[in-house]
Amino acid sequence: DAKTTQPNSMESNEEEPVHLPCNHSTISGTDYIHWYRQLPSQGPEYVIHGLTSNVNNRMASLAIAEDRKSSTLILHRATLRDAAVYYCILIRGSGDKLTFGTGTRLAVRP
């Protein structure tokens, strides 16, 4: 499986945008980029995914580099509830299992 690299931790102020980076230099053409997050004491939850084009949904935006070797998850206005561990995961095609790394722990300051 292609590997992803994320910073261990990041901090943000409440109501400010947050950009969470992910490097995936060995990504293959059929790998989708998925983001999940895990709130404290909960199971992970899906955030967003993309292949080549930038994507937006109600939770976040995903910006994908033109060469697809990196991507950035964008939370437009961080809230305290967004404090979580964010995982960037590559999934091939329709995929099956998720291969989690250690993710980025996001702290949100009030």
Partner 1 sequence: DTGVSQNPRHKITKRGQNVTFRCDPISEHNRLYWYRQTLGQGPEFLTYFQNEAQLEKSRLLSDRFSAERPKGSFSTLEIQRTEQGDSAMYLCASSFSGDYYNEQFFGPGTRLTVL
Residues that bind partner 1 (CB under 8 A): 32, 34, 41-46, 49, 85, 87, 91, 94-103
The smaller minimum CB distance to partner 1, of residues 13 and 57, is found at 57
Closest distance of CB 103 from partner 1, Å: 6
Give the single-character DSSP code of 30: T
Taking Cα atoms as reference points, which of 22, 73, 69 lies closest to residue 49?
Answer: 73
The smaller minimum CB distance to partner 1, of residues 17 and 101, is found at 101
Taking Cα atoms as reference points, which of 33, 7, 31, 4 lies closest to residue 19?
Answer: 7
The smaller minimum CB distance to partner 1, of residues 37 and 108, is found at 37
Q: What count of residues does the chain have?
A: 110
Closest distance of CB 35 from partner 1, Å: 11
Closest distance of CB 52 from partner 1, Å: 14
Are 85 and 67 in contact, with CB atoms under 8 Å apart? no
Alpha carbons 108 and 5: distance in angstroms, whole number: 21
Closest distance of CB 102 from partner 1, Å: 6
